[in-house]
Structure 1
Amino acid sequence: MTRTVVITGATSGIGRAAAQAFAGRGDRLVLAARSPATLAEVREECRAAGAPVLAVPTDVTMPDAVDGLARAALAAFGGIDVWVHTAAVMAYGRFDEVPERVFEQVVRIDLLAAAAVARVALRHFRAASAGTLILTGSVLGHITAPYLSGYVAAKWGLQGLGLALQQEARETPGVHICLVNPGSVDTPVYRQAANYLGRLGRPPLPITTPERVARAMVDCTDRPRREVSVGRLNAVMRFGFTVLPGVYDLLVGPLMRRAGLCDRPVAPHDGIVFTPNPAGESVRGGWLPDLSQVVRSVGGMGATVGSAVRRRLG
């Protein structure tokens, strides 16, 4: 079944991987993000995969921007079957040292913009008595970690919003709200984050791929589920946070400083919280090795060793 899929936050990380995954199915795509140049790149990637694509540069925090995006989707394809919301930013730092304007913008993008998307999407879905809204949450919507207070607050809020919308959706058969909650993912968001902590952030191990999260999103369009957790340790962390809160609080600070931060020093900066950085946008963040490159490297080394052995034996 071919669907019309709107993806907000489509130029990087999970959003870009989702665009590629839906394009591979031949779905009709409406792609939105703040960076027009990168959005054009993703549009061409998806067209090359055979998908009809409309790219609409959009800042989801601006008044009426989400309504305008929906109107563009309806004008191009006549309806909206799925809306995938992935747009998010992060800011590292102690709560009292992160500028107020940065904290508020993180919450505005990560929570209030998601609410704006949900409001518009559900209005169209109710009118059609069908549709699936997929919200990108986080394991940090169930647990907490220091130095990410704005992101944690927003994701806890998004979790609550998603659950409330799921309860309301029981009154509208055919309309589904799915929460996809990843753990650590190999995306550029950590390098692109605002930082007032003095050390570069990174995803703590174990790290999953954005493509795996995207596959979970695609699966939700075929088999809608209330919540999908993507990450091998998500359940363990949630168990520790809930059942052993004293132990969790004792360990989470040292673990965050050791596993969630690099030794590389960084000066205070706003990252992409207010302005996109097209140069830093890609599917992967470089935290995991490119397995195809590893295979090629191993194959190359094998050929080199084999050649050397043959010369020696000859």
Structure 2
Amino acid sequence: MENKTIVITGASSGAGKATALELAPGKVNLVLAARNETALLELADECRELGADVLVLPTDVCDRTAVLELAQKAFEWKGRIDVWVNNAGVLAAGTFEETPWETHQQVINTNLLGYMSGTHAVLPFFKLQGAGILINNISIGGYVPVPYGSAYTASKYALRGFFESIKGELSSWPEIHVVDLYPAFLDTPGIQHAANYTGKVLRNAPPVSDPKVVAEAVKASILRPVSNRYPGGASKLFKLGHALAPELMVKFTSLLMRGYFKSADAIAKTDGNIFNTVDYSMSTNGNARPRLSKRTRQRLTAGLVLLGVSLLAIKMLTGKKKLA
């Protein structure tokens, strides 16, 4: 880890901030990028105290010129870029037609085009060096749709396909690695920063993992790059459930969300941090609700495994009946 130059977008809070703090003790060179310069400067001080050298470059990933400058300045700082972490992302909640069209566009601009822009900017440096690691925090949303978050879902599904394509292109570059991370729900401030057109308070759905699981996955991916990782474990079960019974899972998720909206507290509609940064809740954790105890996580995992087995059995029986 020592002396590796690592760029992290969306580093001002949540999983990005947790990643910076996880990597800093390794005496790395951190390039911290996000829209909120004040939050980045505070994080930079923390990382320096932990042993890292830090460069702060305020960047909006929707600004193509800014992303190109981020890559160029990061390379010039230490003479190379070893790792690029695509992490900046936003969320907008609400029915598709009631969410402003401009908001849908901005979600795509940030979550999809922002990752594509970062990739487009850093790959020439990786190829110049003959090596590099590109890590993408995609989320299980790349496999499992989020009702009332349609643009978010569109961006995540598209990211999965995009990076699979890039992996194919880079197959002749054995020292350039692309690692996709698919965590489930994280206890980050992202839910508090989200654009919200539901008129109801948003909360993370259990099981909720500490964003540290993403930070640890990033570190593991630097030390041992693999194509895909599923931080927190629960995301593999969600992926399995959707693969076995996609329609059932989507209907069940939608039913749960509608039930929640009926009882949730009312709140004013907001654009959140979609178009501009915010100056509140810039920590690693959101603390929107208590994280699950170890026993509760075990029970939920057992329940999801049982659900997956049941769905597989139903699918197999249905297939036999059709053949008969």
TM normalised by structure 1 equals: 0.89
Aligned to 1:237: 238
Report if the CA contact (8 A) 1:11-1:281 is conserved: yes
CA distance in 2, matches of 1:244, 1:290: 28
Gaps of 5+ in 1: 292-314
Q: Among the aligned pairs, what percent are the same residue?
A: 36
CA distance in 1, matches of 2:259, 2:153: 19
CA distance in 1, matches of 2:125, 2:226: 20
Which region of structure 1 is more displaced relative to structure 2, 71-80 or 231-240?
231-240
**How far does the alpha carbon of each residue in 1:48-87 deviate from its partner, in whole angstroms, 9 at most, with x for none?**
1111000011111113111101121122211100001110
Structure 1 residue 240: deviation in Å?
A: 2.3
CA distance in 2, matches of 1:16, 1:22: 10
Aligned to 1:178: 179
Q: Which has a greater percent of strand?
A: 1
Structure 1 residue 261: deviation in Å?
A: 9.3
Q: Counterpart amino acid of 1:56?
A: L
Aligned to 1:212: 213
Report if the CA contact (8 A) 2:188-2:285 is conserved: yes
Structure 1 residue 289: deviation in Å?
A: 4.3
Name which one, 1 or 2, has greater alpha-carbon Rg.
Answer: 1
CA distance in 2, matches of 1:227, 1:29: 23
Q: Counterpart amino acid of 1:72?
A: K
Q: How does 1:138-217 map to 2 (within 5 A)?
A: 138-217=139-218
Q: How does 1:211-290 map to 2 (within 5 A)?
A: 211-258=212-259, 263-287=264-288, 289=290
Structure 1 residue 231: deviation in Å?
A: 3.2
Structure 1 residue 99: deviation in Å?
A: 0.2
Report if the CA contact (8 A) 2:185-2:206 is conserved: yes
Report if the CA contact (8 A) 1:240-1:247 is conserved: no
Aligned to 1:302: none
CA distance in 2, matches of 1:5, 1:290: 29
CA distance in 1, matches of 2:182, 2:90: 15
Which region of structure 1 is more displaced relative to structure 2, 164-173 or 95-104?
164-173
Q: Counterpart amino acid of 1:216?
A: A
* 3-state secondary structure, aligned to 1:251: helix
Aligned to 2:309: none
From the superposition, tell whether residues 10 and 174 of structure 1 become closer, same or farther in structure 2 (CA, over 3 Å).
Answer: same
Gaps of 5+ in 2: 293-324
User: In the alignment, does 2:89 pair up with 1:51?
Assistant: no
TM normalised by structure 2 equals: 0.86
Aligned to 1:102: 103
Aligned to 2:137: 136
Aligned to 2:71: 70
From the superposition, tell whether residues 249 and 210 of structure 1 become closer, same or farther in structure 2 (CA, over 3 Å).
Answer: closer
Report if the CA contact (8 A) 1:4-1:28 is conserved: yes
**How far does the alpha carbon of each residue in 1:199-246 deviate from its partner, in whole angstroms, 9 at most, with x for none?**
122221111111111000110001101110123332222222222133
* 3-state secondary structure, aligned to 2:57: strand
Which region of structure 1 is more displaced relative to structure 2, 253-262 or 146-155?
253-262
CA distance in 2, matches of 1:247, 1:129: 46
From the superposition, tell whether residues 232 and 288 of structure 1 become closer, same or farther in structure 2 (CA, over 3 Å).
Answer: farther
From the superposition, tell whether residues 108 and 36 of structure 1 become closer, same or farther in structure 2 (CA, over 3 Å).
Answer: same
Report if the CA contact (8 A) 2:209-2:291 is conserved: no
Report if the CA contact (8 A) 1:184-1:231 is conserved: no
Aligned to 1:23: 24
Report if the CA contact (8 A) 2:187-2:291 is conserved: no
Report if the CA contact (8 A) 2:64-2:117 is conserved: no
Structure 1 residue 198: deviation in Å?
A: 1.0
Structure 1 residue 264: deviation in Å?
A: 2.2
CA distance in 2, matches of 1:172, 1:6: 21
CA distance in 1, matches of 2:133, 2:265: 41
* 3-state secondary structure, aligned to 1:31: strand
CA distance in 2, matches of 1:212, 1:39: 21
Aligned to 1:295: none
CA distance in 1, matches of 2:56, 2:263: 35
Report if the CA contact (8 A) 1:201-1:262 is conserved: no
- How many residue pairs get aligned? The number is 291
Structure 1 residue 249: deviation in Å?
A: 3.1
Aligned to 1:39: 40
